Amino acid sequence: MLTRFRQYLLLEKSLSANTLDAYVDDVTKLLRYFDDCNIDILDVTLQDLHEFSASVADLGISPRTHARIISGIRSFFRFLCLDGFRPDDPSELLEAPKIGRHLPDVLTVSEIDSIISQIDLRQPEGHRNRAMIETMYSCGLRVSELCSLKMEDLFLDEGFIRVTGKGSKQRLVPVSGRAIHEIQNYLQDRCHIEIKPGADSFVFLSKRRGRPISRIMVFDIVKELTAKAGITKTVSPHTFRHSFATHLLEGGANLRAIQCMLGHEKIATTEIYTHIDRSRLREEIVSHHPRNL
């Protein structure tokens, strides 16, 4: 049943590998819970699911993680109905916890420049690190999208890169002239890396290992450079993505265009940046509205 559920998520839902693994792991916990309660999964009721949800809440996990677990459970019971295991779906009325809107830290352009200036180009990884951060910021990439970027995804002469996002969905994103320059500088260094078999097509590589750079390594690089720059904000690779979207909005970019570049499926996800930018919007109203003159 669990194997067929994984196949359903992969083939029917086209979920990312991380989300797929999380859903399967959550459903595995669900099955163990009801096994311990001597309740067959095919006999589970809405009340049983409420009790499971309460036990999850008692663990003290975040509302966001709790909501993801509920989402995975709903997908599982929909699958059971579609595959004929059950005639009904007890999870239809199962409520997920409310998730508060979290406004992430955003870097100013000068702070981004300060972080990049900490990169020592005399070091073997210097040009690579500079190209990575410029590309993350210039294109608003998720760290997973940066790590999976391939040589055939680079259309530098045309000023675009092809990005494979969540659910293996692809999009074309414009890339800045500065990022193109840094990528081209790095590609000259990349020619001298001893690349392991199977890693040839990846853009960003570990110089020592000759393999695609990992998410953890990118996090560590960003953390180290941020500390050197003396920036006390909570900064991760995702911060550059948030900063990219916020700076576009501040510059007057259309919200739909930002949605396309970020690869958000729903415009509501992109709208968080209108909340980040509220202080600037208030200043604009105070400065220009006729009732404030």
Average pLDDT over residues 200-225: 94
Residue 150, classed as helix, strand or coil, is strand
| Banded model confidence at residue 16, pLDDT cuts 50, 70, 90 | confident
Q: How far apart are CA 34 and CA 236, in angstroms?
A: 38
CA distances from residue 94 to 20, 136, 189, 241 in whole angstroms, order as listed? 21, 38, 54, 33
| Banded model confidence at residue 150, pLDDT cuts 50, 70, 90 | very high
| Banded model confidence at residue 153, pLDDT cuts 50, 70, 90 | very high
Average pLDDT over residues 255-264: 82
| Banded model confidence at residue 286, pLDDT cuts 50, 70, 90 | low
Least confident of 52-66, 196-210, 277-291: 277-291
Q: Quote the Cα angle for 136-212-153, to 5°.
A: 55
Q: What is the pLDDT, as a whole number, of residue 261? A: 84
7: pLDDT strictly greater than 70: yes
**Residue 101 CA, distance from chain mean position:** 16
CA distances from residue 256 to 176, 213, 238, 265, 270 in whole angstroms, order as listed? 19, 31, 20, 11, 8
3-class SS letters over 252-288? CCCHHHHHHHHCCCCHHHHCHHHHHCHHHHHHHHHHH
| Banded model confidence at residue 266, pLDDT cuts 50, 70, 90 | confident
Annotated active-site residue in 50, 74, 86, 238: 238
Annotated active-site residue in 166, 171, 211, 228: 166
Q: What is the pLDDT, as a whole number, of residue 163? A: 92
267: pLDDT strictly greater than 80: no
Is 241 an active-site residue? Answer: yes
Is 238 an active-site residue? Answer: yes
**Residue 30 CA, distance from chain mean position:** 26
Annotated active-site residue in 68, 128, 142, 242: 142
H/E element, 154: strand 154-155
**Residue 33 CA, distance from chain mean position:** 30
Q: Which two tokens stand for residue 258?
A: 């930002």
pLDDT in tens, 56-104: 888 888 888 888 899 889 999 999 999 889 999 999 888 887 766 566 6
Across the chain, what does the average pLDDT equal? 86
Residue ranges and CATH numbers for the domains of the chain are 2-82 (1.10.150.130), 109-283 (1.10.443.10)
Annotated active-site residue in 8, 23, 137, 273: 273
Is 196 an active-site residue? Answer: no
Annotated active-site residue in 68, 127, 241, 247: 241
Annotated active-site residue in 13, 207, 215, 264: 264
Is 273 an active-site residue? Answer: yes
224: pLDDT strictly greater than 70: yes
**By C-alpha distance, which of 67, 72, 75 is closest to 100?**
67
